[in-house]
Structure 1
């Protein structure tokens, strides 16, 4: 069983604090035993969470023994961080713990100096302030989360849930993470993984859109070698009209939407099977392994083999 320590500081955002507690506490392994032990730790026994106060059962010394330390956001990101907290985070990192922040918690991690020279993210509204306050951190405001291996940062509160599911998938694989996602009524599709990985979920389509039947057909036939002309013919539109309506309702083109559908399926196969990359390429509808590798890198940010190594998970420990 892995130990997750959630750091509670004065001014902590309640949702940012409760998200990792809920997600990790309810995560079960295939044999239905708990996957994690969750500790709520504080610099002081009583923590001011704004609308209420809470008792932190564990102190900062518990961070040293944790496998993962989660730093939730605080209402005032510019508030000074106690030296004892910074020292405890640095000590945990030196021992090999994985440190992850939610929203403005990135300001706390940045204050330790551990993010210097690394890519990081935070809520878009605080990205400029984080970059100005910590110029040695490469701030990327356009992604859900950034994973540098042992140091991770996420954007707003919802992205914190994405990050937690990502960590579960890294630890225990897709099946366990998918169960955790279902309990949270959350899709396991908003990926933004290790440093080079970026979130590439499919663009949403308004419910009731005239494109819904076409999108279902595209998903069902994504393994075929479909071109724009055939897609337009099936939709009963000219290619120009189809492109225009697709952009209006999804923000992308039919061909790009189809490629992302194929990449999503490839990601699942890379995570859940031992199929060779060439076989996966053919199965999801790419004409050649080279074309598949090129498209995968452009969409996901890395090659299929590196993705498989990162996301197959490890044995429970």
Structure 2
């Protein structure tokens, strides 16, 4: 059985990390055996200079794609710049031929410019999501997913998610056991599921302009495990229910219940990362009535379940699991 051939695109000013992730993962050998045959290609087959002035030698030009089983576009230098016509035409031919194409991070842009992503489910780096949606309204963008495969095209979120996407590809071809071996060799967690959220850390507003609301926020943060009603909080704040809900929304931008659930989920995520508490105990500590409700709200917010979150972010437990 011949090993899969991967054609890895290089372009002027390519970030070294974007290039090195697929170059490293797909060149790893397991027990002395190559898993993939990796070649690099540029538009004209000439060497390119990276953003850090490192030169990368190309194995050939666009013709390399037509002989590959998988074509990878690792990012893009300028999201406002259309690819060369020759590259877009070649990508279209490759897709028509049924060769799988991968756009890592902003690598979704050249694929979209080439018209390959219309009406497909895709993702890209969260920082470019607004621009991407504006430029390509016919593409179904999921700004939260780590990676998505749809109709022979795989797209991934930014930088770190490229690792997950590449490990996913390894797993699809060789199985989870080999993908896990590679992740151990690289000393990184096993790959995260594609539907998992990108874990963008949103800034948490600890203070507002409203002194009374600030006092209430402090009270709630110190009493997350306790049940709360709007009536009780209104009494605590010396306001009517209607006045409290109006002031709270105006100060924080969120209804009280939404804000409280977000704080409870944030705290629960911290407990998953730094403790070995059971899911039931974490749900109780964070103020959720049942573990079932906690799991549902956690999945809705973060796109993954509490156990997967813990597996990826609780380093102590993850390390022990590696060798169990």
Task: Tell me if structure 2 keeps the 8 A contact 1:43–1:85.
Answer: yes
1:214 matched to 2:277: yes
Runs of at least 4 residues off by over 6 Å: 200-203, 254-259, 261-264
Task: Tell me if structure 2 keeps the 8 A contact 1:4–1:69.
Answer: yes
Residues 85, 201 of structure 1: CA spacing in aligned structure 2 closer, same or farther, 3 A cutoff?
Answer: closer
Task: Tell me if structure 1 keeps the 8 A contact 2:157–2:198.
Answer: no
Residues 200, 133 of structure 1: CA spacing in aligned structure 2 closer, same or farther, 3 A cutoff?
Answer: closer
Task: Quote how far apart the aligned CAs of 1:256 are.
Answer: 7.0
Alignment of 1:123-138 (within 5 A): 123-138=125-140
Distance 1:7 1:145 in 2: 19
Task: Tell me if structure 1 keeps the 8 A contact 2:11–2:48.
Answer: yes
Task: Tell me if structure 1 keeps the 8 A contact 2:298–2:306.
Answer: yes
Which of these residues, 188, 196, 201, is aligned with residue 199 of structure 1? 196
Task: Quote how far apart the aligned CAs of 1:112 are.
Answer: 1.3
1:48 matched to 2:44: no
What is the SS of the residue equivalent to 1:92? Answer: helix
Task: Quote how far apart the aligned CAs of 1:80 are.
Answer: 2.3
What is the SS of the residue equivalent to 1:56? Answer: coil
Which of these residues, 69, 72, 85, is aligned with residue 71 of structure 2? 69
Residues 163, 263 of structure 1: CA spacing in aligned structure 2 closer, same or farther, 3 A cutoff?
Answer: closer
| RMSD (Å), alpha carbons | 3.1
TM-score by length of 1: 0.65
Task: Quote how far apart the aligned CAs of 1:27 are.
Answer: 4.5
Residues 143, 4 of structure 1: CA spacing in aligned structure 2 closer, same or farther, 3 A cutoff?
Answer: same
Q: C-alpha deviations, 1:123-172, integer Å up to 9, x for none? A: 11111111111111111111111111410100101011110000111111
Structure 2 partner of 1:243: 286
Task: Tell me if structure 2 keeps the 8 A contact 1:189–1:201.
Answer: no
Task: Quote how far apart the aligned CAs of 1:55 are.
Answer: 2.0
Q: Work out which of the two has the higher radius of gyration on C-alpha atoms and give 1 or 2.
A: 2
Task: Tell me if structure 1 keeps the 8 A contact 2:146–2:197.
Answer: no
Task: Tell me if structure 1 keeps the 8 A contact 2:170–2:178.
Answer: yes
Residues 48, 189 of structure 1: CA spacing in aligned structure 2 closer, same or farther, 3 A cutoff?
Answer: closer
Distance 2:17 2:104 in 1: 10
Residues 201, 85 of structure 1: CA spacing in aligned structure 2 closer, same or farther, 3 A cutoff?
Answer: closer
Aligned length: 231
Distance 2:83 2:308 in 1: 42
What is the SS of the residue equivalent to 1:16? Answer: helix
Structure 2 gaps, min length 5 = 200-267, 310-324
- Structure number with the bigger relative contact order (C-alpha 8 A, sep ≥ 6) is 1
1:146 matched to 2:209: no
Distance 1:39 1:175 in 2: 25
Distance 1:37 1:96 in 2: 19
Structure 1 partner of 2:263: none
Q: C-alpha deviations, 1:36-84, integer Å up to 9, x for none? A: 0001110130213222132212211010011111101123111221111
Which of these residues, 283, 294, 317, is aligned with residue 253 of structure 1? 294
